Amino acid sequence: MLVGYIRVSKSDGSQVLDLQKDALYKAGVEVDYMYEDLASGRKDDRPGLIACLKALQPGNTLVVWKLDRLGRDMKHLISVIDDLNHKKIGFKVLAGAGAEIDTTTANGRLVFGIFAALAEFERELIRERTQAGLAAARARGRKGGRPRKMDIQTLKMAMSAMSDRNSIAHEIAKRLGITTTTLYAYVNGDGTPKELGSKLLNKVDSNG
């Protein structure tokens, strides 16, 4: 059975949603088996996606219009599709850069394997940059005294470190010379900035 997922950003019009529905219906997805969200890719909760993933059964195929409709970022996308594979659920993309992905076919699995390899390469680069940044922070680190407050350089290293799913928050905070409370005040668990972090980034950008 084919199950579809549709997402339209809050800034988009309903016409985009209709376009996705039409494409999925043309691909064989019945309207009753389409799940949808009105949400941005990274920031908003997506109850439609959660319901969709729960509804999928072994032998089903999840169909999306484009890759960016499903994943918040490459790491999340690879994680979701890998989970589908383990549950013996197929995945198919109809348009855009990932249009050759169809994990129910040999060629589609090959294309997805290339995407997964690139994502792993990206994770390794982030990990290397993070370790280098943490080493530099330790080299110039402070001994004793109160933990320092968050600055832009520390924030960027914290965001990079937290984007690694294998990272441990209290270890990152210790290496950066801040408290875990301060870390979580500025950065989400997936490495995206919270309100305080966004304000600091925007303040730096506005100052040139």
Least confident of 53-57, 68-72, 109-113, 199-203: 109-113
Residue 161 vs residue 71, higher pLDDT = 161
pLDDT of residue 203: 79
Residue type, 155: L
Residue linked to tokens 């990932």: 98
CATH of domain 2-104: 3.40.50.1390
pLDDT of residue 13: 53
Q: How far is CA 103 from CA 60, 61, 121, in A?
A: 11, 9, 21
Contact 204, 152 (CB under 8 A): yes
- Confidence band of 115 (pLDDT split at 50, 70, 90): low
Q: Work out the average pLDDT over 93-119.
A: 74
Choose among 43, 50, 39: nearest CA to 9: 39
pLDDT higher than 60, residue 189? yes
Contact 119, 80 (CB under 8 A): no
Q: Work out the average pLDDT over 75-82.
A: 78
- 7-62 pLDDT, tens digit per residue, is 887 655 555 678 899 999 999 999 999 999 887 656 567 899 999 999 999 999 99
The residues that are catalytic are 9
Contact 82, 170 (CB under 8 A): no
Residue 12 vs residue 202, higher pLDDT = 202
Measured from the Cβ of residue 155, the count of other Cβ atoms closer than 10 Å reads 22
pLDDT higher than 90, residue 202? no
> What is the pTM for the complete model shown?
0.54
Please report the DSSP string for the chain in residue order.
-EEEEEEE-TTS-HHHHHHHHHHHHHTT--GGGEEEEE--SSSS--HHHHHHHHH--TT-EEEESSGGGT-SSHHHHHHHHHHHHHTT-EEEE-SGGGTT-BTTSHHHHHHHHHHHHHHHHHHHHHHHHHHHHHHHHHHT---SSSPPPP-HHHHHHHHHHHTSTT--HHHHHHHHTS-HHHHHHHB-TTS-B-HHHHHHHHHHHHT-
Mean pLDDT of the chain: 80
pLDDT of residue 132: 73
- Residue 11: burial class (beta carbons within 10 Å; 0-12, 13-18, 19+): exposed
Residue linked to tokens 């197929």: 90
pLDDT of residue 14: 53
pLDDT higher than 90, residue 79? no
- 121-153 pLDDT, tens digit per residue, is 666 767 777 777 777 766 665 444 445 578 888
Q: Where in the chain is the domain with CATH 3.40.50.1390?
A: 2-104
